[in-house]
């Protein structure tokens, strides 16, 4: 294990948006380089020295990215951020680097692998609600999944939810596996890849630590820990 703090690239629309994720990584010994569309100057500079990638929540993904037209319920998009994130994700996957996608980040992973999205779904966010739109619901984590191994067990958990877009099995990219679902409406709550063992993506927001089970906070331990091993050249 390298004595240095692993450097993890964190994508966001702004520094302020990225801060909760940066804080979560710092608490686990990880250093962050925040990548925003405004400051992005290409993959080489963005990923220089990085040993992990965190794709944060944020605006809707431009439907044109998955061959669809925007529906009336589609929110604000940021095509420049889409372009940046797809580029750095490709780079990370090519190098087999640890990647964690959160909320929009999970949706971006699905689109990058050739999947599509449902542009509006009910019950997964409460605009203007008492917790900045966040609601709570059950998530079934599949036993034997990578997510189950990270958090400790496949079971039913109660997590936060802050998204109005998402996917079901029909929208899932063929190269990805769903490792968690909403048990009532079938919305996919986590994705992983058999071909990329260090890729994990979830719909919930574990950076809002008081809204998720303690076990879900282990996702940041997983990212920081394996990023440190990647940087040290100590990956299995």
Is there a contact between 76 and 59 (Cβ–Cβ < 8 Å)? yes
Question: Residue with structure tokens 């990329």?
Answer: 196
Annotation marks residue 56 as catalytic: no
Active-site residue among 85, 103, 137, 189?
103
Those residues whose C-beta lies under 8 Å from the C-beta of residue 68, and which sit 6 or more positions away, are 116, 117, 119
Q: Which of 85, 189, 192, 207 is catalytic?
A: 207
Phi-psi region of 143 (alpha: psi -120 to 50; beta: other; left: phi over 0): beta
Query: Does the annotation count 204 as an active-site position?
Result: no
Read off the DSSP letter of residue 196: E
* Residue whose token pair is 């879900």: 216
Cα distance between residue 160 and residue 119, in whole Å? 19
Active site residue 103: yes
Residue that has been written with the tokens 């450097």 in this structure: 7
Number of C-beta neighbours around residue 234 at 10 A: 11
Q: Which two structure tokens, joined as six digits, stand for 174?
A: 């063929």
Distance CA 92, CA 166 (A): 23
Instruction: List the catalytic residue out of 124, 137, 164, 205.
Output: 205
Active-site residue list: 103, 205, 207
């Amino acid at each position: 294990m390298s004595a240095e703090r692993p450097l993890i690239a964190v994508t966001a629309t702004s520094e302020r948006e990225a801060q909760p994720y940066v804080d979560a990584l710092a608490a686990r010994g990880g250093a962050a380089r925040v990548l925003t569309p405004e400051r992005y100057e290409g993959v080489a500079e963005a990923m220089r020295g990085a040993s992990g990638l965190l794709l944060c929540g944020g605006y809707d993904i431009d439907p044109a990215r998955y061959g669809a037209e925007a529906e009336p319920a589609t929110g604000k998009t940021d095509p420049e951020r889409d372009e940046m994130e797809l580029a750095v994700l490709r780079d990370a996957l090519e190098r087999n680097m640890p990647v964690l996608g959160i909320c929009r980040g999970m949706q971006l992973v699905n689109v990058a692998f050739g999947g599509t999205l449902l542009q509006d779904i009910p019950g997964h966010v409460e605009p203007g609600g008492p917790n900045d739109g966040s609601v709570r619901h059950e998530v079934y984590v599949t036993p034997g999944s990578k997510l189950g191994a990270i958090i400790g067990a496949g079971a039913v958990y109660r997590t936060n939810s802050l998204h109005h877009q998402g996917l079901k099995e029909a929208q899932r990219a063929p190269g990805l596996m769903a490792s968690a679902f909403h048990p009532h409406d079938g919305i996919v709550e986590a994705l992983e890849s058999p071909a990329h063992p260090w890729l994990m993506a979830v719909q919930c927001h574990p950076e809002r630590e008081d809204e998720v089970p303690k076990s879900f906070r282990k996702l940041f331990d997983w990212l920081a820990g394996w990023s440190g091993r990647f940087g040290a050249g100590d990956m299995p």
